[in-house]
Structure 1
Amino acid sequence: MFIIAAVITSLGLDIDRYNISYSCIRNARISKTEEIVDTKKKEEINQSFVVHWDGKILPTEQGILTAERLSILISGTNTEKFLKAPILPDGTGINQASAVFEALSEWNLCDNVKAMCFDTTASNTVKLLAYLNKL
């Protein structure tokens, strides 16, 4: 906050005209991020991709509890794109498959995925492949 206030003052602006609270800045950042993501989702993509995912147990926003998060990204020729990191109820193969499929659907990339790359147990893999083959 002090740096932002110093910049506003050094520019000769009236600091009382600006709301520089943590919550205001956080809300503006979230809003802008959502706007950028929506724009990226609407871009036309005509390329084949590999979808990558991996689950990790990470702290929640409050830092007190932990949650299973699944990072999902795609890669292709000269392209890497992070899609989503949803919180899952648990790390089972069906939950991972559902989250990956949902992320690919949101970005309209289901038809562009030609390969999968993941690190999971064999028991999850069999269920996951069976689930994806039904789609």
Structure 2
Amino acid sequence: MDVEESSPSQPSTSSQTIIASEKSELLITKSLSEATNFGSDLEYDPSIQMKRPKINILTPKLISALDRANVSSRNAMFIIAPILTSVGINIEDTTLSYSTIQRTRMMFRKDLAQGLKNDFKTHDKYVVHWDGKILQDITGSKSVDRLPILLTAFGIEQLLGVPKMDSGTWTAENQTSAIL
């Protein structure tokens, strides 16, 4: 029976495995000891800076003024930003952007409309007003007959609609079909 002897210059594969596993153990313990040098998780103190709350400058009065003057949200930003800097307010400390102005306007309009609807529903007696008008069409190319319909109760007026009418005839049937 021939037994092969391993040459002293080439170690066996089992000894190579042992050496590799010792190296990996050494690397694991070295990285673990380096990690513990920084302290435990309980000692970790992140440097979180507290942010100051931003100033909300978009009040209902300001939004109403912008709407009445027909100022777009982008133009409102160009107007409000220099005003804030001229009075000494840092723009970074405010909630000022095109989208913030647009969202605030939509929210304010929704609240205003809901309040008007709720106020108007509380009355028992109403008066309906209507009158035919010749107005420009939405496309602006020609004039059309329209029938504005107003509902009044205790000094509060509500425009219900301005429907188109069939042109030419002002009959009761034509008016009721425009209303309904």
TM-score (norm 1): 0.45
Greater RCO, 1 or 2 (C-alpha within 8 Å, sep 6+): 1
Q: Tell me which structure has the larger Cα radius of gyration.
A: 2
Structure with greater strand share of residues: 1
